[in-house]
């Protein structure tokens, strides 16, 4: 079976163009466009690269995007005051907190200050709860990107065996809900699955396998089921190369579809952030009767 590489840059381009059209219509109807603010602490190189790609995507789509930088030694109080100020500013439609943040501040704690209506990343507990009952369009960006990749294969998830490796709050857990909504049969594996020596048996039966661990080659290529869809979320630096969590070349011999790293899930994740910004803007305008 020949594998099809799921090109995240191409998918991102198509999604970006659709959002650009949507923003043009919103601008005509409402008179202005969404304004998003990314709050970053310190000057982390990786985080800056991600912020740069967000800025570029926002400019293309026609959204206002700003970076608010706080000092590395910012206190919890000053950090939360900054978020509250942005919450209160009616001209700001979306807020995100750029990771990493300094160790002296708990990410989950600060994230809860972000107004539910402006929560660009869908990380606020209220939005997570709304997602559980299917009441929000603000979906955490990485799981949303994974779902777009799966959708692009044209495969119907109904009754399929979907196996997620990694159970983090930002990827694995919310993704399990999105897959369940499509009636996939979902298994979530994690470190204890590996320690129990049972990772391989779960991966082997997966029609759809999504890996978000952060360890190169944690999934061996020959574990992949013939004809499976393989979505690799992992990002690992090995020597001077970026690689995913799946043994790519070996997995290509078995899979029907696979995402590359880099150039797979990442580029679409950025666009999902923009989509959340537009959804937040539309919901706020609706509340205001515009
Ligand atoms: P995390 O550290 O919060 O969670 C890692 C998960 O992997 C946990 O569930 C843990 O139990 C599991 N795990 C660890 N070792 C394992 C093993 N040997 N076998 C099975 N499971 C194991 O990580 P995260 O924040 O979810 O990120 C995971 C990876 O995805 C990282 O490489 C990160 O850089 C990447 N990531 C990429 C994007 C993107 O848009 N492309 C977005 C977010 C995260």
Q: State residue 108's pLDDT score.
A: 87
User: Could you tell me which residues are beta bridge partners of residue 115?
Assistant: none
Quick one: pLDDT band at residue 267, thresholds 50, 70, 90? very high
The least confident of 96-110, 137-151, 167-181 is 96-110
Residue pLDDT, tens place only, 106-146: 998 999 999 999 999 998 899 999 999 988 889 999 999 99
Residue 126 CB–ligand 1 contact under 6 Å: no
- Measure 43 CA to ligand 1 centroid, in angstroms: 23
- Residue 168 Cβ inside 6 Å of ligand 1? The answer reads yes
Residues 6+ apart with CB under 8 A from 56: none
The partner residues of 209 in beta bridges, in order of sequence, read: 163, 230
Residue 43: its pLDDT value, please? 78
Instruction: Tell me the chain's radius of gyration from C-alpha atoms.
Output: 19
DSSP assignment letter at 98: P
pLDDT in tens, 220-246: 999 999 999 999 999 999 999 999 999
Q: According to the 3-state scheme, what is the secondary structure of 165-204? A: ECCCCCCHHHHHHHHHHCCCEEEEECHHHHHCCCHHHHHH
Q: How far is the CA of 290 from the centre of ligand 1 (A)?
A: 41
- Written in H, E and C, the secondary structure of 26-39 is HHHHHCCCCEEEEE
When pLDDT is averaged across residues 64-76 and rounded to a whole number, the result is 95
Handedness of CA 85, 112, 274, 18 (dihedral sign): negative
pLDDT of residue 262: 96
């Amino acid at each position: 079976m020949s594998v099809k590489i799921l090109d995240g840059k191409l998918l991102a381009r198509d999604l970006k163009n659709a959002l650009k059209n949507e923003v043009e219509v919103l601008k005509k109807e409402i008179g202005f466009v969404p304004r998003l603010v990314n709050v970053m602490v310190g000057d982390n190189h990786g985080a800056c690269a991600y912020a740069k790609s967000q800025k570029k995507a926002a400019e293309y789509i026609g959204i206002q995007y700003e970076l608010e930088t706080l000092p590395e030694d910012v206190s919890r109080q000053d950090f939360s005051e900054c978020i509250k100020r942005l919450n209160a500013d009616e001209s700001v439609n979306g807020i995100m907190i750029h990771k990493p943040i300094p160790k002296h501040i708990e990410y989950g704690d600060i994230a809860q200050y972000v107004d539910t209506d402006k929560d660009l990343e869908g990380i606020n507990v209220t939005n997570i709860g709304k997602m559980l009952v299917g009441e929000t369009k603000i979906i955490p960006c990485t799981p949303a990107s994974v779902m777009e990749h799966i959708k692009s294969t044209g495969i119907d998830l109904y009754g399929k065996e979907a196996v997620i490796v990694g159970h983090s709050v930002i990827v694995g857990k919310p993704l399990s809900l999105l897959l369940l909504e499509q009636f996939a049969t979902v298994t979530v594996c994690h470190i204890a699955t590996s320690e129990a020596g049972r990772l391989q048996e779960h991966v082997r039966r997966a029609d759809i396998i999504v890996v978000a661990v952060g360890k190169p080659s944690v999934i061996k290529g020959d574990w992949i089921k013939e004809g499976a869809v393989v979505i690799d979320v992992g990002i690992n630096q090995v020597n001077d190369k970026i690689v995913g969590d799946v043994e790519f070349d070996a997995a290509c011999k078995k899979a029907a579809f696979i995402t590359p790293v880099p150039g797979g899930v990442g580029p679409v994740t950025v666009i999902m952030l923009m989509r959340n910004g537009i959804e937040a803007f539309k919901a706020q305008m609706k509340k205001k009767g515009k």
